[in-house]
Structure 1
């Protein structure tokens, strides 16, 4: 049967879930473009000792007996705690900014009021290896739906990752996170839940996602030993419930409705997509199950703790299923020790970066940096890109307004290697040869030998020149993205190694030109356009190549302020928007192909 929400999305306080006043400060999440990640360089201070009961050895875990207390976790790590609620008392863990909850087990049937974990902060919040599988009942409060496991407040603004969690038998929601519609993003990875009364997974934002998770209903009775509730079986909750605005994707997840009419439901015009996995028991609302099977695997995903003791011991090999970590990063892998974060500082201007380390390197998020062994280069704008590595940071260049931090401390790129670490040489073979070179970075205009050659034009990140029996040398940072031999033959060397120019860029001479001219207007003009074919920035008609102009596939965003921008393109201009008074000229078949 249909159920009403346990608390409204207006964030009505329930019992002791109200966040203490001293924790109301919020911060903006650092990594705005990421789908899910572990924040590089996060502070991991040891949690304070809150227990009123006994404590295990220092290297083991601490036992905390519930006594109605509130534990505040803000900018720190709360880990290796066994929370004993078998005495029937309540406890609230209030989760603030940039907090980590790790290796925590709740032991005993919970009979308190409200939610055990209450998230009200911002930044990066992570739950990892947490057990709340002993269930709860309503004896501790008078709310219709009783206590829940995890609540995300309406005024929260955090990017939350739940990894390897086991949540069962809560009359209220297991994960009440539909307030993500008001800010933040929620990611579940390798999580397991069943028999949670209103819902197990409750989501809303288009940034919310689930990966290799399981939720279902069966006839498990979590409160047989407590006759005052008696015979309670919560077998009619929603495994996945998506609220407006929706757009939630569940990847390789498995859901079963049990006695409830639907396994996945949407509310108030929201939509959801199952990408792989399987579902039984039907759906309600706008749910795309076209790529999901019909025989869900309801076993516990690998790594999920199956008891409080397993969670607090830090056991990363619990569970009984065959979870697939490859799509989201294996939480069981040993983390590389050093953290490097490029922060775009919420600016729309692009910053190009390159770095090289002495050991292994891997991204902490799913972004599109190019990694070649221990060498990495990429672009960051109004987001941040984090990496982890081992060994020394040997080389670092930064071209733009972004900042970079190493293990939480901002650093100066000039302290790491050469400013222009790469050398490109184009050597003539006795006949006049024209060429064009583009880098995704910066060219050294002062020390480059190309600057002394009258036949050479250096504009932004592009060099155009010609050679006969001499050599043009260019020093640069970033990546070599294009080498075009327009006519003739030449030998091209990159860092002393001979390269094939055909291995770099799109070498078809694009036939058409698009020119945006801002030289006759005192005010800046902004433009965006999309071509049906390839597009590259050009110095045609003495145009300026501006590092702030951004090309993504066939789409371009840029601006002119007293100067001229030009592009070579193929096909047609499918869409063009201009804000300002610059003139726009499209010239077809300007050069032969």
Structure 2
């Protein structure tokens, strides 16, 4: 059923505990438990009071107050009139399969910089959004304040029908549906009989992996030069994109149909006023069946008034805290790490995605975000916060300065020599640095910000780092290793094989994006060699690699030989055999 995200499922799995045997072994701990083994703290939660379910043309009125509503697989969420008031936020999340959202109307002024719907069909099924009305906004506004009505998550691998949706939100975005095509799981979206009114910067954004726009109309007043009626993105899947029987008006500003890359696009009976279609003289109209008010949408298309009363939260206990890492509008990815005094859990605040790669161990959280949002609910106090990148952090809706929460690099790694020379290499998934005045300054070298090479014989060396220790390898000899105040077993951390050869795709001196794909007949892993960035969008599938570079470097370690290589763009490629010994 649909549920408010603030309500925890008390029948779900309990917090992970540590066995008595593990607690008694305090001298050496493994890589997953060197962080504080704090006891689990139950988050304070409450049950939201809801209005009576709709019957016939009745509908429920919901007052936006920053809540998150989640739609389950196979469920139908319908007949709702949602009041934004004066830019109050609400997030509606549907990320299962075979769900339906219909007869939803919005009143009040759409909030700044939010995604109202965050959706995908992640079970290869078919989900539906139909008869929805978005209305009221202030038109012209800065880029940092524009909202997205419907965001389609990259994890979408099924099909989504979007029918009779009215994006009457001047200055804001309509639907962003292209991500599954170019950096996601290949799901498709079909828009039918939808309307966009002065959406900025885009009304209808899709990919060329089988997505379509049919019987739609998008109007622009001409006040926004960057405005796009439709934006078609080249993706990595087959299927093409189709626009049929549609009308787009630009009034001389921006593009009726814009493209990103070189998408496979078919246009059939598309009327535009800038020559980008195959017809001219576009008409301005709202497609048949598309609602023209919030009340009309909520009542299922009828214009008669419905008896309804606002839902409240008098019984709700919303004492838990929220933390949002917001990477929207930033370049590259941001690594974050924070510690709270209580328990933490992932959340979907402001349409944030829940990513398997983000880690929670007791009250310690690490993760990365690129171009979108990660969010968490937590109990207790925020004790430490580290951000590496341009993303912004909000605690309980207020932006915070990470410098106010602990040290930038909160962990200390210590090596203690045993009297014989040991050469080592270690890597963290954050950043690491030597400590001024320590032996590490003389005997160790930091490269790429996250890798250290050095040697030790006697005494000790110390480093400050953020994130977690991911690899430590002694090329010869040995030493004792401590993370914070706990001794660790290096054997638990040397799972990464030191592959001998390097391949570097260098786009630093080129214009535009370069795409590449290659395969090897041995093993291959990502690398920070030559200060290359590790881009989470690059993919390794067994022995095959694919990725993109703009103005940076991508690098990989491998063994064996390169079996196949493809390059589209102007980046240079260097293959260095036995690079570690050069």
Taking structure 2 as the reference length, the TM-score comes to 0.48
Larger radius of gyration: 1
Higher relative contact order, structure no. (Cα contacts within 8 Å, ≥ 6 residues apart): 2
